[in-house]
């Protein structure tokens, strides 16, 4: 990757969190001039890049070279690509390696990869030496529009996704929509489920914009992608500003479709469904439950489903193991004082909470139309 003298001005989004505030820089080609984007943060520090076996071979050399412009030393830690790397064992190995590298408080961790790398590297940054600075350079659509923003970092336990973690905000997020060119088709499409989710939970205009631009989205048009990513990051920044630690309820709305989705991922295995695919099905089920309870009508369900289908996202719940799905939903982190709390739609752009839905209603919502 060559440095471009013509990198366009960044489309920044500010995440306003008092002393933990930071910028999300979004611009096509930004990775090519990463040294400029990070100069103020890296200067005089050493950097440790955490990446994985998929992303490292494509971008690591360039990112190391860019960081070397300002950093005193640049090291790399590479983990196996895939959800299984968000584990206690991998964390343990990374902590030991940081120790062997002589990592100190003047080290900045740079997460180069998708959601797994961002969550894992962020958790390492949050915990090693009681906290190191970290920077997110997300390379998947899901990470660019959701997981790299807002400071949720963590790892999985064998039966509970994201159960061990922290809120640890990055110092900056640098997003280059061009890196999505190298993302495989299913991960790209799966990331679109999170993009549509923002429209559904809080922004009808965004939902309509997606409906009107499906062809350009499928063609990975950089201009549309830059606009969509910035739009989603503005939505997420507003939510995180209001409810950084998911205590008032605003942030929990981001989990629309996720309780169903996490259950599908955990019952059918994390390799079977990508996260975005599982939450696409999850949002379809949540809308069906909303309809059962009179919160939305059939036309809402049809419109939501049509958009997912036009993007190539799955909309049908697996037709077996419904009891296990319900049990997994009841184990979800969103169970408070023994009561499951679901986010259900009230219309395009608005959602509401439903406490303690009956298992029989959940069961019905799993049955495909
Ligand atoms: N991905 C959900 C959140 O950041 O709260």
Residues within 6 Å of ligand 1 by CB: 146-147, 150, 152, 251, 254
CA of 324 to the centre of ligand 1 (A): 25
pLDDT of residue 338: 78
Instruction: Tell me the domain boundaries of the chain.
Output: 8-182, 185-365
| Tens-place pLDDT, residues 303-318 | 999 999 999 999 999 9
pLDDT of residue 2: 42
Q: Using the predicted structure, report yes or no on whether residue 339 has a pLDDT greater than 90.
A: no
pLDDT of residue 8: 43
For the question of whether the overall pTM of this predicted structure is more than 0.85, the answer is yes
Lowest mean pLDDT across 251-260, 280-289, 337-346: 337-346
CATH number of 8-182: 3.40.50.1970
Assign 270 a pLDDT band (cuts: 50, 70, 90). low
Distance separating alpha carbons of residues 287 and 299, to the nearest angstrom: 11
Q: What atom of ligand 1 comes closest to residue 147's alpha carbon? A: 1
| Tens-place pLDDT, residues 71-128 | 999 999 999 999 899 999 999 999 999 999 999 999 999 999 999 999 999 999 999 9
Domains 8-182 and 185-365 share a fold: no
Distance of CA 264 to the CA centre of its chain: 17
Q: Indicate which residue of 251, 288, 291, 305 is catalytic.
A: 251
Class of the 185-365 domain?
mainly alpha
Q: Using the predicted structure, report yes or no on whether residue 182 has a pLDDT greater than 90.
A: yes
3-state SS of the chain: helix, strand, coil percent to 5? 50, 20, 30
DSSP state of 183: S
Burial class (CB in 10 A: 0-12, 13-18, 19+), 297: exposed
Residue 190: both structure tokens together: 């799966």
Q: Average pLDDT for residues 322-343, to the nearest whole number?
A: 85
Q: Indicate which residue of 18, 100, 130, 159 is catalytic.
A: 130
Lowest mean pLDDT across 17-26, 78-87, 151-160, 327-336: 327-336
Beta bridge partners of 134: 109
Q: Average pLDDT for residues 152-164, to the nearest whole number?
A: 89
Q: Using the predicted structure, report yes or no on whether residue 9 has a pLDDT greater than 50.
A: no
Beta bridge partners of 112: 137
CA of 3 to the centre of ligand 1 (A): 33
Q: Average pLDDT for residues 281-294, to the nearest whole number?
A: 98
Q: Is 222 a catalytic residue?
A: no
Assign 291 a pLDDT band (cuts: 50, 70, 90). very high
Q: What atom of ligand 1 comes closest to residue 255's alpha carbon? A: 2
| Tens-place pLDDT, residues 43-75 | 888 999 999 999 999 999 999 999 999 999 999
Assign 343 a pLDDT band (cuts: 50, 70, 90). very high
Q: Using the predicted structure, report yes or no on whether residue 266 has a pLDDT greater than 60.
A: yes
CA of 251 to the centre of ligand 1 (A): 7
- What long-range pairs does 202-211 form, CB within 8 A, spacing at least 24? 202/235, 202/238, 202/239, 202/253, 202/349, 202/350, 202/351, 203/231, 203/235, 203/349, 204/347, 204/348, 204/349, 205/349, 206/231, 206/232, 206/235, 207/307, 207/348, 207/349, 210/307, 210/311, 211/307
**Could you tell me which residues come within 8 angstroms of residue 327 by beta carbon, excluding any fewer than 6 positions away?**
none
Assign 335 a pLDDT band (cuts: 50, 70, 90). low
| Average pLDDT score over the chain | 94
Q: Indicate which residue of 172, 275, 288, 305 is catalytic.
A: 275
Of residues 330 and 197, more confidence is placed in: 197
pLDDT of residue 123: 98
Q: Average pLDDT for residues 180-195, to the nearest whole number?
A: 97
């Amino acid at each position: 990757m060559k440095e471009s003298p013509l990198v366009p001005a960044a489309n920044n989004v500010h995440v306003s969190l008092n002393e933990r505030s930071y910028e999300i820089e979004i611009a096509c080609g930004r990775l090519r001039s990463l040294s400029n984007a990070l100069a103020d943060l890296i200067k005089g520090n050493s950097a440790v890049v955490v990446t994985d076996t998929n992303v490292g071979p494509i971008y690591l050399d360039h990112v190391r070279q860019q960081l070397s412009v300002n950093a005193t030393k640049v090291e790399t830690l590479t983990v196996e690509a895939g959800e299984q790397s968000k584990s206690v064992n991998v964390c343990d190995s990374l902590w030991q390696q940081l120790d062997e590298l002589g990592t100190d408080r003047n080290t900045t961790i740079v997460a180069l990869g998708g959601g797994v790398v961002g969550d894992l590297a962020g958790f390492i940054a949050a915990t090693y030496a009681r906290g190191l600075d970290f920077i997110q350079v997300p390379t998947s659509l899901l990470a660019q529009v959701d997981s790299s923003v807002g400071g949720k970092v963590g790892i999985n336990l064998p039966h509970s996704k994201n159960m061990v973690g922290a809120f640890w905000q990055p110092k900056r997020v640098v997003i280059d929509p061009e890196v999505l060119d190298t993302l495989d088709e299913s991960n790209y499409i799966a990331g679109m489920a999170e993009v549509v989710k923002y429209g559904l939970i809080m922004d009808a205009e965004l939902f309509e914009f997606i409906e009107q631009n499906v062809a350009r989205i499928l063609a990975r048009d950089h201009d549309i992608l830059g606009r969509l990513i910035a739009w989603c990051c503005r939505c997420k920044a507003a939510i995180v500003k209001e409810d950084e630690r998911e205590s008032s309820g605003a942030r929990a709305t981001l989990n629309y479709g996720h309780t169903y989705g996490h259950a599908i991922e955990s019952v059918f295995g994390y390799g079977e469904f990508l996260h975005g695919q599982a939450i696409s099905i999850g949002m379809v089920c949540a809308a069906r439950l909303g309809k059962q309870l009179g919160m939305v009508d059939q036309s809402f369900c049809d419109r939501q489903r049509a958009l997912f289908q036009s993007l190539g996202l799955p909309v049908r719940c697996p037709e077996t193991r419904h009891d296990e799905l319900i049990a997994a939903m009841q184990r979800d982190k969103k169970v408070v004082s023994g009561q499951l709390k679901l986010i259900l739609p009230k219309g395009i752009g608005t959602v509401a909470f439903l406490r303690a839905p009956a298992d029989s209603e959940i069961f019905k919502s799993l049955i495909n139309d």
